[in-house]
A and B are shown apart, each in its own frame.
Chain A
Amino acid sequence: MTRKSIKEIILRRIIQTAVILTLATAGAAAAYDVGGDVNLTGSNEAYYLRQDEGHKYWTWDELRAELGIGQRFGIGFVAEFNQPKRDSFGDPDEYFNDITRKYFRYRDKVFNAYVGDYQKTIGRGLLFRSYENEELDEDNIVEGAVVDGKVFDLGEITGFFGENRREGYDYDDRVRGLAADFQPIRYFSAMGGVAHCEMEDASGNRVSTDLLGFGGGFYWDYADFYAEYVDRAGWDVTANRNRDGRGYYLNGNVYLPWRNVAVGVQYKDYDHLFYPYSSPPTVTHSGRSINEGANEKGYMVSVSTRPVRPFKAEGGYAALESRPVTIGNFRDERAITEYYFLARYDFPKPDLIVEGGYTYWDEHNRLVGQGGTETGELRKWPTVKATYDFAEDFSVFGEFEYEIKTTYRTGADEDTTYRRIDSGVSYRSLTGFTLRYEDSSRLEREYWGDPLLDQFRDVDRWIWYEAYLNVLGSHTLTVGYGGQRGGLVCSGGVCRQEAPFKGFRITLTSSF
C-alpha cells in the first residue's frame, strides 16, 4: 500500500467521522431547538424515471448539504445516489453511489478557508479557475485548499493548492498559486498572481507550466473598465510540447442615463494560453469559441437600451479568428463572425410579453486550403407569453415560440424549425398543470457532386403533460408524462438542461 493511498484513506476516514459527528450534533440540536448555532442548508433533488421504450426505469438522487456551526464553520458535501446509473445518452446499466464533493470551510471577518473540493476563480479566469457546472458540462474541481486573507480594508490575498484527476488520464494534475486583489482607493481595483501546474502529457510524462498574471479596473456609475493579462511559460497542452503563451482580456462599458443605454466592448487576444485550469471569457453572444477559447483573438460590441419601461432592445456584433495551428502536415485556421438583435415588449393590460430576435453567424474552418465553412442564421419569431387571471388566485397562461435555423455547410445545407406551445392553469404559486407541445422539422440537403442532390427530412413531435405542487415554498413535487425534446427546458418557472426523454417522471426538488 503506497503512502499516497494511506494518506487518502486517513483523509476519507477523518472526513467521514467529522460528517457523522456533525450530523449527530445537528440532529440533537434540531431536536432540542438549540436555535441558530447549528444551521443545516442544502438541496435535494430526486428523480424517478420510467422510459416508454423497454420499460427501463431508474432513480437518481443528488443531495447537497452544508452544516454550519455558528457563523464560522461549515461542512459540506454532494452525494449522488443513482440506481441504476443515470446515463443520458445510453442504457443505464450499473449503480453509482458516491460523495462527489466534500469540503470543510472556515469564515470570519479576516479569513476564508475551504479544505476539500473547492471552486475558485482568480480575476476573469485566465490565471486560474476551478469550477463545476453540470448544466454546461464544466467540471475541473480541484481537491486541496484555498485560503483568502483580508489585508486591512484594502483587499485580500489568496493562496491555493490541490489535485485533480482529469478523465482519461492516469495521474493527478497538481496546481498551486498565490494571488492578491486590492482596491486601494474607491473606484479602482488591481489584481496580480502566479500559478504553477504539473500535469501529464499525451505520452504519460509529467510536465509543468507556470503562469504570471495581473489586471485592474475602474468602476464608476457611468462607465467601467477592466483589463487582465497573463503570461504562460512551459508545457502547451494544445501543441503537446513546451511552448510559451500569453493572453489579455479587456472589457469596457458606458452607461448613459438617457434611455438607459448601455454600450459594451470586449476584446481578447489569447495566444496558446490553454492549460486545464484556465477558462477565459469567450467574447461572443452565443458562447461560440474556437479551440476552446485558448488560441484566438477577437472582439464583441453590444448595445442595450430600455427607452421606455415596457420596451427593451439589445444587439451586438462579434468577430473572432484563431491563430493558425499546425497539426502534423495540416494547418488549421478558423474565423467566426456573429451579430444578433433582440427586442421585448411587456404589455401591462392584458398581461402579455412579446419578444423576438435574429442571430446570424458565419464560421469558417480552413484546413490546408480544403474548404470548410459553416454559415447560419437563426430567425426567432416573436415569442408570445400571456397570463390571464380568470378568478381570484386562479390564472391561465399560454406561451408560443417559433424559430427557424438555417445552416450552410460545405457539401450540405440544413433547415431546422422548432415550434413550442405551452398552456396551463395555476392556483396562486401553489399548484398547476401545464401542457406542452413541441415539434421540430429538419431538412438536410447533401450535395454529392454536381448536379446530384439528396434530401433527408426528419420530423419529430413531443407532447408533455406536467402537474406540480409547491409545499412551503421550498419543496416542489412535479409529475410529468410524455416526451421532451431536451436541451434548455424552462418548466415550472425554472430553466435547466434536460436530456431528451419519453416516459413517466416524478421529481421532488427540496431546499432546506
Chain B
Amino acid sequence: MRSFIKLAVAVVVLIGLAAPSFAGKVIPDFELDDLNGESVSFYDILESGPGPTVLSFWYVACEPCKDEHVELQNLMDEYEDDGLVVVAVSVDSSKTVSGVKPYIRGNGYTFTVLLDTDGNAKQTLGVPYEPYTFLVDCEGNVIHEKLGYRKGDEKVLEEAIVEYIESGGVGAEESTFEGYCEPVTEEGETRYSEPITEEPSESE
C-alpha cells in the first residue's frame, strides 16, 4: 500500500507540476445554487457573453476575501460594459451559509454569487485555500490564477483583464465574439458535447 501511494503521489505531482507547460488549465463545468435558490451552470455563465470571467472562491469569515471583494466590485464597475463577469463562489457550509446573502446585500455587491456548501466545486477545481481567484476566457481556459489576496493583486488581475479585452474581446475594432473565442465548431457542436440548435446571430 505504501509503495503504491508513493508511486501515485510521485506520478501525479510530476504531471501536476508539468501540466501548465503541456496544455492550458481548463475549468470543468459545475452546477451550484445562486442566492435565490436557482441552480446555475458555470458554463452557462461563460456562454452568456464574450467574457472574461473572474471566478473567486471565498467564505464569510475570511478577511482577505472581504478585502478582495471591494476590488472585484471596482473591476466589475469598470469593465462590465466590456464583457467582464465576476462570479464569487462561497464555500460556507450549511452552518454559516445563512450569513452569505446578508453580507453580499449589506455591502451592495452586484456580482454573481454561487453557494458551494458541500465543497465539491472547490474540490474539483483543486482550490487549496481561500481566497483563490481564476480569470477564465469564454471556454473556461484559465488565463490567470492566484492563491490568496494582498493589496496590489487587483492590479495584476486588472492587467490580465485589459490584455484579454484588447486582444480580441468586445471593444477591439476588428474582432467579434466568434472571432476570438469560438465555442461553436465547424460541425455545429460545442466543446460541451451538445450541438447548438439556435439560429446563428446576424453577425455571422
Q: Which residues of chain A have a CB within 8 Å of any CB of chain B?
A: 16, 19-20, 23, 26-27, 30-31, 33-36, 39-45, 61, 63-66, 68, 70-71, 74, 76-77, 79, 81, 97-99, 107, 114, 119-121, 123-125, 129, 131-133, 183, 186-187, 189, 217, 219-220, 224, 251, 253, 255, 260-262, 264, 266, 279-282, 287, 302, 304-306, 309, 312, 314, 346, 351, 353, 387, 389, 395, 397, 426, 428-429, 432, 470, 472-476, 490, 492-496, 509-512
Contact = CB atoms under 8 A, between A and B. Distances in A.
A26 B8 CA distance: 12
Contacts of A281: 94-96, 98
Given A23-B12, A510-B17, A495 B63 contact: yes
B151 A264 contact: no
Given A306-B107, A495-B64, A395 B151 contact: yes
A71 B9 contact: no
B40 interface: no
B25 to A, nearest CB: 7
A65 B151 contact: no
B126 A124 contact: no
B172 interface: no
Interface of B: 1-2, 4-6, 8-9, 11-13, 15-20, 22-23, 25-26, 28-29, 35-39, 61-64, 67, 70, 93-99, 101-103, 105-108, 117-120, 123-132, 144-153, 155-156, 191-193
A428 B148 contact: no
A119 B119 contact: yes
Given A40-B12, A125-B95, A129-B94, A493 B124 contact: no
Given A23-B12, A68-B28, A281-B98, A509 B5 contact: no
B38 A183 contact: yes
Contact of B102 (A70, A81, A125, A262): A262
Given A79-B9, A281-B95, A305-B106, A16 B28 contact: no
Contact of B152 (A64, A314, A426): A426
A134 to B, nearest CB: 11
Nearest to A353: B67
A42 B36 CA distance: 30
B134 to A, nearest CB: 9
A373 to B, nearest CB: 26
Nearest to B125: A41
Given A20-B8, A31-B22, A40-B19, A65 B126 contact: yes
Contacts of A64: 123, 126, 128
Given A31-B22, A306-B106, A429-B153, A66 B124 contact: yes
Nearest to A67: B12
A19 B129 contact: no
Nearest to B16: A512
Name the residue among A27, A42, A114 with the largest chain B CB count within 10 angstroms: A42
Contacts of A312: 106-107
A255 B129 contact: no
A4 B156 CA distance: 55
B148 A492 contact: yes
A470 B26 CA distance: 20
Contacts of B155: 428
Nearest to A282: B95
Given A43-B127, A61-B9, A495-B62, A304 B151 contact: no
Contacts, number: 243
Nearest to A488: B61
A183 B33 CA distance: 11
Contacts of B103: 262, 304
A262 B128 contact: no
A36 B63 CA distance: 35
B128 A45 contact: yes
B66 to A, nearest CB: 9
A512 B97 CA distance: 27
A314 B103 CA distance: 9
B113 to A, nearest CB: 13
Given A19-B8, A282-B95, A253 B101 contact: yes
A40 B125 CA distance: 9
B123 A66 contact: yes
Contacts of A19: 8
A157 to B, nearest CB: 14
A323 to B, nearest CB: 20
A119 B118 contact: yes
Contacts of A81: 5-6, 9
Contact of B93 (A42, A133, A474, A510): A133
A305 B107 CA distance: 7
26 contacts: A26-B15, A30-B22, A39-B25, A39-B26, A40-B16, A41-B25, A41-B124, A63-B13, A71-B193, A97-B6, A124-B94, A125-B95, A132-B119, A189-B37, A219-B37, A224-B36, A255-B102, A309-B108, A312-B106, A353-B67, A395-B151, A429-B146, A473-B147, A474-B146, A494-B64, A494-B129
A39 B106 CA distance: 38
A79 B5 CA distance: 7
Contacts of B156: 428-429
Contacts of A77: 8
Contacts of B67: 353
A224 B38 CA distance: 13
A119 B5 CA distance: 23
Given A19-B8, A473-B144, A121 B125 contact: no
Given A219-B35, A429-B156, A511-B128, 8 more contacts: A39-B26, A68-B124, A98-B5, A131-B93, A264-B102, A387-B151, A493-B64, A512-B19
B48 to A, nearest CB: 17
Contacts of A74: 28, 124
